[in-house]
Each structure stands twice: as C-alpha cells, then as structure tokens.
Chains A and B, each alone.
Chain A
C-alpha cells in the first residue's frame, strides 16, 4: 500500500514540477505586463526539440542544452519586441490572441525547422531506477525536481536580493509608479519574456528524457501550466510552485486511486472547487481591483 502511495507521489511530483515551471513562466510575464502568454508551452517544446537537433548535429549534450536554452531565450525576447511591445493599443483580449497566434506560429515553424516525429534525449544520469521502500524513481526525475527547486530558489534570490529583480517586482505592483521612479519598464518586459522562455526551455531539456518531445507538445503543457498558475493565484511565484505540484499529484493519485479515464477531470474539478471557494486562488494577491 505504502509502496503504491510512494510510487504515485513520485509520478505526481515529477510531472507537477514541469507544470510548476510552466506556471512560473506564466506568472513572471503576467506580473510584468498583464499578458497571459499562451505560447509558454512552446518554449518548453523549443527547448527540448532544439537540444535534440543540436545534439544530432554533433554537439555534446551539455552544449546542446545550453545553446537550446539561449536560443529559446532569444525567441522569448523577440516575441516581446516584435509582437507584444508593438501592440500598444491592444486590449487584454487582443494580447491573448497575439500569444495564441505566436504559439500556432512557433508550432508551425518547429514542424518546418525540425520535423513531425517524436524524439527523446538520453537520461543525463543513467536509466537505472533507484528504489525507495519498494517504489522506484529514475535519476532523471530527481534531476527534474532538483532543477525546478534550483530555479525557484534562484528566482527568489533574484527578486529579493538584486536591484533588477526588485525593479521587476516594483513594475508588477504598479507600472506607472515604477516608471516614475525611473524603472525602464520596456527593459523589464523584455527581461521577463527572456526569463520565462529560459525557464520553459530548461523544463523542456530536463523532461525530454522522460516524456519525449515533438513539435506539438506545447499546447497541453500551456493548458496545465495556466491552470496551475490560476490554482496558485496568477501572479504569485510561490502559488505557481504549489499549483503545479498540486495538479501533478492530483493527476497521479486520480489515476492511481480513482479512475485513469477521468484523471484530467479530477485535476480540473479541484481547480473549479478551489476557485468557487477561494476566488483568488490559493496564494493570490490580496490587492484591491483598480478600475
């Protein structure tokens, strides 16, 4: 019994860590610009796919991964500079359409630049599972968890210790006020897009040895990540972490204990329930709505 429980937990945490990273990407961009970036899942896809193809071109795995993350970061910044920043008069709705359009565009481009096949990377630390009280976990799952933890800690330090990070937080709180005290909000926007893209790409690199990748994996990740961000309270990085892990765990326990056919349903039912009871999400900002 305990063995099954542990096995479900490992599964839920691994998948949940990826949702959490996608949710974090949503949160960072939302904070800087009020944009809900539905292209967030494509960053994960580009990270994984470029690593696969750079490696096929002969680069060692580590170099391919690093280059893929840099490449995705550049794409993230371009998305801001070429699309979001240009749509000055656009409503929130139009911005959503822009990011959905960007996600369709990136998916189409990936299908041209790469291919339509499924791909996989070798596990970074071997394929032999580790056993803990009868349950097994792959070393790669531990790397995913460690990577997610490192990103969250790093971001916390960045936002709370560095000057730039504080400027991001200031922008998130009140854009006009931030601009008045001399924060370059255009730079902050580009930074947020770059950062989100880099986080997405890292998630893509870490997860590809476990879950495989192809040009169309982004959409489902974006949906789950968005749901996780809303569950945690859109705009709160800690909420993104908890929301992501929660959805991963609910799915795993749903599949293990209830019904594998309706496991995605269990995740969304919990979200609906929580939003009905706690409309700001678990850790949403308690600010007054401005009009």
Chain B
C-alpha cells in the first residue's frame, strides 16, 4: 500500500525528468528525513521541515545538486523513538535514500543511528546532546551546539558578573535532563557551585513550589533553567510572580521569538546563549555571519509568514553541509559523501563556523554562541 504511492511519485518524477530533458538514467538525489513534525517536540520539527522544504525547492529551481534533481522524503516521528526507528528503516529499505538529515530529538536520533550506520548512509542529526557525536560514529554528524557548550557559555557569563552560586530548575524532558547533567558536570571546573537543583515535568502548569524552594536557598546568586517548550516560559513568569531578584538564565532551547511572546513582560532581563540568527539585524556590518543569517531569515519569514527560529537554522546548516558534501563527492556514494562532510572546513553557517574532523563531527566551537539579553521584549547582544 505504501509501495503503490511510492511508484506513483517515482513515475511523476521520472516524467518530470524526461520532460526537462534531464538524464534519463534516473540518478536523482534522495534526501531522507525523520522529524518530530507533530507531538511534544513539534516546535523543533515544524520549522526544521519547513526549512528543508524551502531549501529543496530553491535548489531544484537552480537545477539541483550536481545537475540532479533533489527529492526530499520527510516522515513525522511525533518524537517517538520507536516510530523514528521504523521510519529510518523505511527510508533506507523502501525509499532507498542516499543521505539523511534529521532526528529532532536526541532519543530518536540515537534510535536511528544503527540503521544508517549499518547501511553506509551519511546522517546529520539536528538534536542537541553531546552523546550523538561522542564517541564519534563515522557516519553520524550534527549541527546544533551541544548542551555542554551552553552550560560553559552561561557559566562564563556568570563568572564575568562575579556570580558563582546558582540554582538549577530543569525540565525532565530529554533536553532539560541532558543539559542539567552536563551543567552539573562542568560546574566545578568553571568555579560554579550548584546550590539548588529542582525539576519539573514537561506538561507542568505551575512551577512556583520549586521556585519557592530555590528562592529560599541561602546565598543564591543566579538561576539557570535548562529546558524547552512551555516550561521555561512558565518558569520565567512564576519567577517574576515570586519576585526573585537574582539573574535568570535560559538555555538555547528557547531561542525563538515565541519565548518572548509567551513569557511577556517577565522575559525582560533574562539572558541566554543563542545563535546569531536571533539578532540578525543587530550584527555588525563586518560580522562574517551577517550575510548568511539575514538571507536565511528573510527567505524563511517571507515564505512562511512566521518568525524564524534557531531550530530551523540547524536544518539549514545540515542541508548546506550535505549539499556541499554531495558536490565535493560528485556522486551519491555513501563513503565519498561521508568523507566530504568530515572534511568540511570553514563552512560559515547560520549556527556558526563549522570545521569538522575525524574526531569532531560537530565542528563548532563556543565562539558561535552569543550571549543575549531580552530588553523591552527584544533580543540584545551582551558583550
């Protein structure tokens, strides 16, 4: 029943190729993708899918990659790792894709890795946790900063302000939990003492009890909130309700305009590490990222009529890395493409400058993170 649909698509694509007079040898490039387009992580998967759709359309309008048309096949995992695994198998065995981008969340990514690795398919993940690329699997890459880098960035900013005693309030979802562990791990080395450590569930409606405990902790100098989705917005609002005076830090997990809208007035004064994308119009003329960031932002916002988000930016970089690798390899041969991604040097993306190597399949350093502060409902760069 799926096969039938597939054949129909192939036929139309084939007809399209013939009509355009393209190679009749049928060498289209198939990019597979499994994203959390619906479900609890849809705020990740939705902009990621939209970005990929937009880029594939643009690339095909310019004649494709290596002269071949690009087909994008996206499946929605609903952030369920078991479904993601099944769709990964479908991409490999039924759709016979050449390369894969995706996995919005860490759990889905980890579940899919063996499928792609066993079938020699280059895979760029859009999920956060460091375990995806550490230890390095030769077929697996990722574009988002690791949660560990976010902790380091926040702690460095705290030190600069002379603050060392922090309270943590983390979501119990994959992102919050993983980042909490990384922050606890990296804190001693950065001279930070974690004096309070609370959590909340991903669907919780009120965090005042946890924040009351944090507020009553002796010597508290700042609070860090690893998490994404609605949790951080509610934490921020509860934080102001309780009148907690010390600085509040959010993570790159809420780096979108939506967070400011949801948290309202309470968002003012919140700091977080984020990519240049959020402050595209404030970047210095000389900033090397300025051009790529503003053009992606403009294209996305014009096409979809909604503010661009950091997460779509991860998909942008993944697609561009993959495109460059396919061009360098000059074919869809798995090993050649994989080696080309690994050899990426100096690609300047939306997220930062990527310099991959055999033992670094992320290739970003924390300089790509900008520390932002929300002032009067808008992002500003802290330097």
Contact = CB atoms under 8 A, between A and B. Distances in A.
Interface of A: 4, 7-8, 10-11, 14-15, 18, 111, 116-120, 122, 127, 129, 136, 138, 207, 210-212, 214, 216-217, 220, 252-253, 255-256, 260-261, 263-264
Contact of B234 (A117, A212, A216, A253): A212
Nearest to B211: A7
A118 B212 contact: no
19 contacts: A7-B212, A8-B208, A15-B205, A111-B38, A116-B38, A116-B46, A119-B262, A129-B242, A138-B241, A210-B205, A211-B206, A211-B230, A214-B230, A252-B208, A255-B209, A255-B210, A260-B200, A260-B210, A263-B201
Contacts of B40: 216
Contacts, number: 85
Interface string B213-234: 1001000000000000110011
Between B172, B213, B229, B261, the greatest number of chain A beta carbons within 10 A of the residue's beta carbon is seen for B213
Interface string B36-56: 001110110010000000000
Given A4-B216, A261-B199, A117 B209 contact: no
A260 B264 contact: no
A4 B215 CA distance: 10
Contacts of B38: 111, 116
Contacts of B39: 216
Contacts of A211: 205-206, 230, 234
A256 B210 CA distance: 6
Contact of B243 (A8, A116, A136, A207): A136
Given A7-B242, A18-B205, A120-B264, 13 more contacts: A7-B212, A11-B208, A118-B229, A118-B230, A118-B258, A118-B262, A129-B242, A136-B243, A216-B39, A220-B203, A252-B206, A253-B209, A261-B199
Contacts of A138: 241
Chain A interface, >50% SS class: helix
A4 B212 contact: yes
Given A116-B43, A118-B229, A118-B262, A256 B206 contact: no
Contact of A207 (B46, B198, B205, B241): B205
B213 A4 contact: yes
Nearest to A18: B205
A263 B42 CA distance: 26
A118 B256 CA distance: 12
B80 interface: no
Contacts of B264: 120, 122, 127
A255 B200 CA distance: 8
Nearest to A138: B241
B212 A256 contact: yes
A120 B267 CA distance: 14
B291 interface: no
A10 to B, nearest CB: 7
Contacts of B209: 7-8, 11, 252-253, 255-256, 260
A121 to B, nearest CB: 10
A211 B230 CA distance: 8
Nearest to A6: B212
A260 B241 CA distance: 19
B233 A261 contact: no
Contacts of B258: 117-118
Contacts of A255: 198, 200, 209-210
A111 to B, nearest CB: 6
Contact of B42 (A116, A136, A207): A116
Between A7, A8, A122, A210, the greatest number of chain B beta carbons within 10 A of the residue's beta carbon is seen for A7
A255 B199 CA distance: 9
A260 B119 CA distance: 43
Contact of B203 (A14, A18, A217): A217
B19 to A, nearest CB: 33
A260 B88 CA distance: 35
A210 B172 CA distance: 20
B43 A118 contact: yes
A59 B265 CA distance: 23
Interface string B179-214: 000000000000000000011110101101110110
B305 to A, nearest CB: 11
Contacts of B261: 120
A255 B233 CA distance: 19
Nearest to B169: A260
A120 B258 CA distance: 10
B262 A8 contact: no
Contacts of B233: 118, 120, 212
Given A120-B261, A212-B230, A260 B198 contact: yes
Given A7-B208, A10-B208, A261-B199, A256 B241 contact: no
Contacts of B266: 127
Contacts of B212: 4, 7-8, 256
Contacts of B216: 4
B213 A14 contact: no
A23 B261 CA distance: 31
Closest 10 CB pairs of A and B: A256-B209, A211-B205, A255-B209, A220-B203, A116-B42, A11-B208, A7-B212, A129-B241, A260-B198, A260-B199
Contacts of B210: 255-256, 260
Contacts of A18: 205
Nearest to B177: A261
B105 to A, nearest CB: 15
Contacts of B243: 129, 136
A127 B265 contact: yes
Given A14-B206, A212-B262, A256 B230 contact: no
Nearest to B261: A120
B267 to A, nearest CB: 12
Contacts of B46: 116
A142 B210 CA distance: 21
Contacts of A127: 264-266
A255 B204 CA distance: 11
A203 to B, nearest CB: 12
